[in-house]
Amino acid sequence: MTTADTTGGAPTGENLDKLTANLRKVEELSERLTKVMTHRSMHNEALDGPNQELFQKAASAYWTEALRDPAKVLEHQLQFWSKSVTHFVEAQQALASGKLTAPPDPGPSDRRFANPLWDTHPYFNFVKQQYLINAAAVEQALDDVTEMDDPEKRRLAYFSRQILDMMSPTNFLATNPDALEKAVATEGDSLVQGLENLISDLEANNGELIVKLADDSAFELGRNIATAPGKVVFRNRMMELIQYTPTTKTVHKTPLVLFPPWINKYYILDLKEQNSMVRWLVDQGHTLFVVSWVNPDAAYAGVGLEDYVQDGYLAAIEAAKAITDESQVNAIGYCIAGTTLTLTLSLLKQRGDTSIKSATFFTALTDFGDQGEFQPFLTDDFIDGIEAECADKGILPSIIMARTFTFLRSNDLVYGPAIKSYMMGETPPAFDLLYWNGDGANLPAKMAMQYLRGLCQRNELATTGFDLMGHHLTLGDVDVPLCAIACETDHIAPWKDSYRGIQAMGSKDKTFIMTQSGHIAGIVNPPSRNKYGHYTNTDLNLDHKAWAEGAEFHDGSWWPRWGKWLKSRAGAQMPARDPGDSAHPVLCDAPGTYVAIKAKP
């Protein structure tokens, strides 16, 4: 409650005190903003957008189209002009009627425009409708461009969409009714808190704007996430190896070694008890080892894929074999760790080493012939920029990768959270998945370029072969029993590309499962949730479209189906094993020490 205004509009009483306090806060925040932007860390400019050549080609192609078919281009221009003028006239008529109502036909549904004022208030409705008209005109112009190669056109479409998303009226205070209503209701407190949130995010990332998606103060590793009981039983410069405490009296003889991606932390598979794959696998009677990768700094600049194979995969497999006194392990590779598991399998095949009994791949790409949504970032101008960044810093900083991944879903992972945090002053939610998403890791310079140039750009593993550790590695070398799980709506590792790589492998015993949902939710899909179903088809000779058309749908999680597959390859039962042995003493409790190392911006 505030005191009444008796001075012709001047603030008095509580209003004046609040205004003074807010102005003082704004002054302090302005000083912090100046400081952080003055000392911000810089990155290579090539990482901020495509070079001008792309847009020059687009303009040239558009005008070539205009000369070849001027009537078509003129028709589209006239449609845009007509819609814009008609829209303006309708808005004027609505205002002239004396009623504060928008014209009929509020336009297409869009989550960004959920506030009723976008449809009922003539000002906000006009702004929304004109934005949608402009966006449609740009998209039509893109469709009309025919004198560009398909990869370039896809790239143009991606960056044009980024510009359109950035220019949405919801992203500006003056044209966002939610933010304006909140500012009025809180007497400006929301804007001050929003500025505090913005500057805090800038300070946390040395001037780089990365929107915080989760309240990181709500989580602590080992307390309320990554809590499955286990012990670190091996450590080297590349990884810590965690052996989990058994929960069954007997276990399968063949141990299970899980290799998570090193772009993020392993605990995506152990967020909480209800959805922990780690706990589920232990409950199924497996002696489970999980690799927790180091978060590299500049000292790791010369570390390559060969180091991940030698000091990661091979070291972990040898430790697991020694601790369990077994000659073979079953291996799992998730995302980039699945790609590298393929390299390891080819290497072991050529060496005559049968240490891996079976392999499971989670959302793993081995054939990068179709680069999907990452295609805009795999052209030479971007990769050259990444190479320069790596040469300068010795690593590909986690912040660069985080920005790339989030802009693939910019409205959900950038602009939406930014509006809530910076315009409305809201605290990010206490969401464990988003906390994990923000807990990224750096990549060593050498490894990053091997992956981007050799595997992604040149697609060597699926075509000519990939040279590593004195061997020429190919997909055809992979001949162990394998099971691959891909996700139907995965935008990072599209299922059809994962399927194509599995088809090229030399194994005679292959199982392919496509689960509903995406890169994370499709994998972290415990049976207890009964949320996403999955598809199976035993004929892997079909192309991906025919495979999907002939696939059988199954309700529920794919975990039990895979669990049966794994059980048949896990050996007989024996008394449960405690973590470690005399040669591999317990070093510390899970989740270990490497997982706690944060990526420094």
- Going by their DSSP bridges, the two strands 510-515 and 552-554 should be labelled as unpaired
Radius of gyration for the chain, computed over Cα atoms and rounded to the nearest angstrom: 28
Rounded Cα–Cα distance for residues 583 and 242 (Å): 15
Rounded Cα–Cα distance for residues 336 and 338 (Å): 5
487 in active site: no
Q: What angle do CA 430, 431, 437 make, to 5 degrees?
A: 125
For residue 150, give the H/E element and its range.
helix 150-166
The structure tokens 């972290």 sit at 524
Rounded Cα–Cα distance for residues 178 and 270 (Å): 36
Reduced to 3 states, what is the DSSP secondary structure of residue 534? Answer: strand
Contacts of 319 (CB under 8 A, 6+ apart): 233, 234, 241, 289, 584
Alpha helices in 394-522 (DSSP H): 398-407, 410, 416-418, 432-437, 445-449, 495-504
Nearest alpha carbon to residue 547 among 505, 488, 483, 482: 488
- Per-residue DSSP letter, 372: G
Reduced to 3 states, what is the DSSP secondary structure of residue 485? Answer: strand
The tokens for 531 are 């949320």
Q: Which of 335, 390, 456, 483 is catalytic?
A: 335
Contacts of 86 (CB under 8 A, 6+ apart): none
Active site residues: 335
